[in-house]
Amino acid sequence: MPDMILMELEESMESRIATLRHDLAKVRTGRANPKMFEDVYVDYYGAPTPLNQVGNISSPEPTQLVVKPYDKSIVKDVEKAINAANLGVNPNNEGDQLRIVLPALTTERRKELTKQVKKYGEEAKISIRNLRREGNDQIKKLEKNGDLAEDLAKGYMDDIQELTDKFVALVDQLVEEKDQEIMSI
């Protein structure tokens, strides 16, 4: 039973790391990245549809993205959705496609992005610590019910702490890598 708790805890922490990676992928680093549009939804025949399902997003140059909708009649809707997403970009309507030129990041903007990355990292750490607390509570409950000896419970709590430390270190590493990527010119 306690081994199951550890396995579930590790799975939940890995899931949180995957979420952090997803969040970090959306942060702009000075290079054009189609992933920055993952959370953009276009009103397509009355239904909010992800941008990557209504058109092709490509990066012909390191500082440019081209969004080419499959249905040419929704170019204006796509433009409206990109503007509404507050990504700090301004799409140029070329009739059948949108061209987005990403301006070079200023030092001030880089610092803002670094703060955002650190915020994502802190949220991930808080989530991992909450998972640790939940795991410890489950172990304490087993110990209280008499299903687990006190010394075994202490050992499992130490294992939970090791797991937590491992994932918190991974969060720090991911945040540091993203910071370096943002600050490099």
The pLDDT > 90 percentage for the chain reads 35
Q: How far apart are the first and last CA of the chain?
A: 51
Rg (alpha carbons) of the chain, rounded to whole number = 22
Query: For residue 175, what pLDDT is reported?
Result: 94
* pTM greater than 0.85: no
pLDDT for position 24: 85
pLDDT above 70 (res 5): yes
- Please state the rounded mean pLDDT for residues 98-120: 86
86 or 171, which is more confident?
Answer: 171
pLDDT digits (tens, 9 = 90+) for 53-82: 888 988 888 888 898 999 888 888 888 888
Sorted by where each starts, the structural domains of the chain and their CATH numbers stand as 2-26+106-183 (1.10.132.20), 34-101 (3.30.1360.40)
Span of 3-17, 83-97, 124-138 with lowest mean pLDDT: 83-97
Q: What is the pLDDT of residue 169?
A: 96
